Amino acid sequence: MRKYIKQIWVHLSHDPLVSSITIIGTALALFLIMLVVMIEQVKYEPFSPESNRDRFMHARFMSVTNAKWGDGSSNGPMSIETAKALYKSLKTPEAVTLYANDNPAVASVAGGTTFVADILQTDADFWKVFDFDFINGAPYGKADFDAGIKEAVIIKSLALRLFGTPDVAGREFMINYTAYKVAGVVKDVSTLASKAYSQIWIPYTCTDVEKNTWSRCGGSFSTTILARRHDDFPKIREEYGKLLALYNKKIGESGWKILSRNRPYIQEKEAFTFSANHEVNMKAKHRDRYIILIILLLVPAINLSSMTQSRLQHRNAEIGVRRSFGCTRREILIDIINENLIITLIAGALGLIMSIAFAYWGTDILFAQPFSNSLSSPTIDTSILLHASTFIYAIVFCFILNLLCSYIPAWRASKTSIINALGGMNH
């Protein structure tokens, strides 16, 4: 191995321009590919408080139609009645939470400054589905939730702004000029945890959000389901199907009908869902992703393969010598590809480091979430950005890139006749 690397170094320093183009080109390709991978990964790789993303199913919206409307439909978040009938009654999952997004709220302590904060109204199961990191206090429980006791969980930075200290469980503050008690304080949450994210969480029984209804089934609620196991999804869908049929029968008496649009969605599909009135075509999304990756691999590979070709040209004689001493064409081919792989891996590591650095430095450019309620910029840390799969992807793409840019030149080099190779000619 050391011999290999030493030899590669000698070859690389032979023609610095070609070598630097090879390395820069490879690093650049992997840099961009890994940015694409990271932008995608933050949408469905798990991190706290959404550590169970692989067991999540979501229904942000419902779609309802009426016999009188023809093809028309009304789409948006659910009313509490619909959400309870269709999702909260599910028995198969480990937990189901209902929550309602709202306009940001005004928060203050008596006599202090007013702050605007993002607020999410939830039930008590919310704290089972999502795994928050409590610094102080505890989440509000079912009893308090049922009783509509005005309690709130807030993030650390808001606690600091309001009270000047994070240890504030039990203290009182105002949300929209109504008094709430702090139940607990959690570590700040990145907006990238698009379901769990907020700055204040309160029980939805504290407000009259349940009264907001429209089009029979519409309201303010969305749901996230936590399955016991990843393979429970079909069972949950089956149970959901029964609940839906039952509910449709009930509302059908007045001409209404819920259109399922194949809800609830798994995390990946949910991440691509922006509009309430149509179902995302995941096949098309996957196809787009493959096209992007293919372009990102092919374009640099065309360049890199001519670089490989040019590097190999210097080594024709060597190839001839090796062949005359008993090396087969196959071994030549494999040797060249392997050798190139080491270069690709080194340059690829460089690209990966660049992409990680860029991800930290350019979060707002890279990860800004469309259609988000919050004005806060997304924050990023290693638990969000780096997963085992990140490195696996990087290595896999290096392998593919290497094959793309070394196979044809290596094949051509191995096919050259020994005599021509020894003579230094290529054709």
Partner 1 sequence: MDNKIMISLNGIDKIYRTKEVETQALENVNLNVKKGEFLSIMGPSGCGKSTLLNIIGLLDLPSAGTVEIDGTQTKGMSDRQLAAFRNKMIGFVFQSFHLINSLNVIDNVEVPLLYRKISSKERTRLATEVLEKVGLSHRLHHMPSELSGGQCQRVAIARAIIGDPEIILADEPTGNLDSKMGGEVMDILHRLNKEENRTIVMVTHNEAQAKQTSRVVRFFDGRQIV
Partner 2 sequence: MNKKLFRQIRNEWKSNLWLIAELLLISVVMWYILDFIYVKASIFYQPRGFDISHCYLLRMGRLDPKSPKYMAKDTTESEDIRNILTRIRHRPEVEAASLSANSYPYNGSNSSTSIRYDTLQNNNWLIRRLVTPDFLRVFKYEGSRGETPSQLASMMDNKSIMASNNIFKKKYHIKLTTLVGKKVIWGDDTTTRYKLAAAYTPVRYDDYSEAYHSYSMLYKLPEGWYTTDNNLELCIRVKPSMDHDFIKKLWKDCERHINTGNVYITNITSFKDVRKKFQQYQSNQIRNFVTGIIFLLLNIFLGLLGTFWFRTQQRRSEIALQMALGSTRRQIFLRQISEGIIILVLASIPAIIIDLNIAYAGLTQYMHGATLQPGRFIITVSATFLISAIMIIIGDWFPARKATKVQPAEALHED
Binding residues for partner 1, rule: CB under 8 A, are: 3, 6-7, 10-11, 317-318, 320-331, 417-419, 422
Return the DSSP state at 273: -
Cα separation, 205 vs 148, in Å, equals 5
Is residue 98 within 8 A of residue 131, CB to CB? The reply is: no
Q: Which does 29 bind (CB under 5 to 8 A by kind): partner 1, partner 2, none?
A: partner 2
Residues 6+ apart with CB under 8 A from 84: 98
Q: How far is CA 226 from the centre of its chain?
A: 17
**Closest separation between CB of residue 178 and partner 2, Å?**
4
List residues near partner 2 by CB under 8 A.
17-18, 21, 24-25, 28-29, 32, 35, 103-106, 108, 113-114, 116, 150, 176-179, 207-208, 274, 296, 299-300, 302-303, 306-307, 310, 365, 368-372, 375
Is residue 50 within 8 A of residue 332, CB to CB? The reply is: no
Q: Which does 330 bind (CB under 5 to 8 A by kind): partner 1, partner 2, none?
A: partner 1
**Residue whose CB is less far from partner 1, 298 or 334:** 334
Q: Which does 10 bind (CB under 5 to 8 A by kind): partner 2, partner 1, none?
A: partner 1
Q: Which does 372 bind (CB under 5 to 8 A by kind): partner 1, partner 2, none?
A: partner 2
- Joined tokens for residue 371: 């259609």
**Residue whose CB is less far from partner 1, 10 or 388:** 10
Residues 6+ apart with CB under 8 A from 391: 352
**Closest separation between CB of residue 182 and partner 2, Å?**
18
Is residue 187 within 8 A of residue 381, CB to CB? The reply is: no
Is residue 102 within 8 A of residue 119, CB to CB? The reply is: yes
Q: How far is CA 367 from the centre of its chain?
A: 10
**Closest separation between CB of residue 73 and partner 2, Å?**
16
Q: Which does 417 bind (CB under 5 to 8 A by kind): partner 2, partner 1, none?
A: partner 1
Cα separation, 93 vs 420, in Å, equals 70
**Residue whose CB is less far from partner 2, 36 or 259:** 36
